[in-house]
Amino acid sequence: MKSSTKKLMAAALVGAFALATVGLVFAQGARTKVVWYIGLGTGASAQQVPIQKAAVERFNKSQDKIELVMEVVDNNVAADQLAARIAAGNAPDFVGPVGGDGYAKFRGQFADLTPLIAKFKPDTSGMDEALLKFYSAGSVREGLPYAVYPSFIFYNKDLFDEAGLPYPPAKFGERYQGRTWDWNTLRQIAMKMTIDANGKDATETGFDAKKIVQFGFVNQWNTGATAMATTFGAASLTNAQGRAQIPANWINAWKWYQNGIWKDRFMPNQEEMGQEVFGSGNNFNSGKFAMAYTHLWYQCCLDGGANAKVKNWGVAVVPSYNGKYTAKLHADTFRIMKSSKNQDAAFQAMWWLMQQPDLLRTYGAFPADERLQDDFISEINKKYAQNAKINWQTVKDSLKYVDVPSHEQWVPNYLKSFDILTKFANRIFAEPNMNINAEASKLRVDLQNSFNQAR
């Protein structure tokens, strides 16, 4: 995403306004070096780095007390590198944006912001109290609300028009052709929208599952075990005693996905997801998928303009399961390392970055601060003016149905437990005959063994 000079000037003015209004006072003396570690969450893509670099330059020119330095690390190795730096006593000053997964991997390594908030008094009046509490554990607050990514259904309007089917519901509680908008209804539509090379859909006799040219549905970049499971309701991998458990509704969700991939064939398997014709992983963007379930951040990876493969798209609410909606949430923020020797300066730099609209736009993030939301909506609407008229009420309403507990919940021995869950999820997409019940029982045992090693 490129920013014009006009946009940069506007963003700089907003940043200057933020510094004037949040009550931050820069320390006197020589410049204090503060290191911003990027990559544990979003921020490491080729499109995002120049925007972040420009923000750092603006910050350093805006004052002469703090020198902000950014370090960008590929997301695939960022966690390992950060762990190594912490072990070596060379941790950065703050990280971000980082979500629940990144937080869980380094739980206990982040500073309590309570004294810093009391000292610098940032203006959080535009933030919902519930979001402020989201980042608190009792009296400890390790983050401030920043970027929220509600989840919903993206759908290809042209493919629905070709099939002669109405669009999925834009409002919670709406029905679809007289039926409850649940995961079973989505399944039926997705099968009708899955087409083979001979023009037959997945509900018709003679459908060739080996020659699919269009799929009805994909869980776009949300194929983790807990991410898939939470579509059927939020739950926990630990019981009241802290022991591993596998919720029954999660087993049902995994079966639903397995059937969709291997039996009903309205979803791609692991090999098909990676094929160039289906977007080489960025599946919905290929124009060959009717629906995709993902988060708001996906708009950064969906092409716009005349050359977009998805010419017209819209957004719909997540389907329900057993009468309950669960629109899982990704929520990112910045976090200061407990080991930082420059926490005052880090907090001031971090809060300044959190006020920059161009950063929120490049992260594809819906601002937690309602005062910044109109700018974000306006910019996204401009980007996709040719391709979508986004129903922002659908996006906002999805925040009312977030998953509690989060699908990115912390569990004991997190890194090893996460690896166990990842391998389990990968098998669903690679093994057509996987026995979900039996493997879920083994998963519980493997997780408990992992938990035991953390004690």
HSE of 394 in the Cβ direction (CA atoms, 13 Å)? 20
Q: The pTM is what?
A: 0.81
Distance of CA 64 to the CA centre of its chain: 35
Q: Identify residue 178 by its one-letter amino acid code.
A: G
Q: Tell me the one-letter amino acid at 314.
A: G
For the stretch 305-309, contacts whose Cβ atoms lie closer than 8 Å and that sit 24 or more positions apart, written own/partner, are 305/386, 305/387, 306/386, 308/386, 308/387, 309/285
Burial label for 434, CB within 10 Å (0-12, 13-18, 19+), is: middle
**Each residue's pLDDT expressed in tens, for the chain with a length of 455 residues:** 433 333 333 333 333 333 333 334 444 458 999 999 999 998 999 999 999 999 999 999 999 999 999 999 999 999 999 999 999 999 999 999 998 888 888 988 999 999 999 999 999 998 877 677 777 766 778 889 899 889 999 999 999 999 999 999 999 999 999 999 999 999 999 999 999 999 999 999 999 999 999 999 999 999 999 999 999 999 999 999 999 999 999 999 999 999 999 999 999 999 999 999 999 999 999 999 999 999 998 988 899 999 999 999 999 999 999 999 999 999 899 999 999 999 999 999 999 999 999 999 888 788 988 888 888 899 889 989 999 999 999 998 998 898 888 898 889 999 899 999 999 999 999 999 999 999 999 999 999 999 999 87
Contact 50, 107 (CB under 8 A): no
Closest CA to 66 of 124, 11, 120, 102: 120
Q: Tally the residues of the chain.
A: 455
The alpha carbon of 151 is separated from its chain's Cα centroid by a whole number of angstroms, namely 8
344-372: burial string, b at 16+ Cβ within 10 Å, e else: bbbbbbbbbbbbbbbbbbbbbbbbbbeeb
279: left (phi over 0), alpha (psi -120 to 50) or beta: left
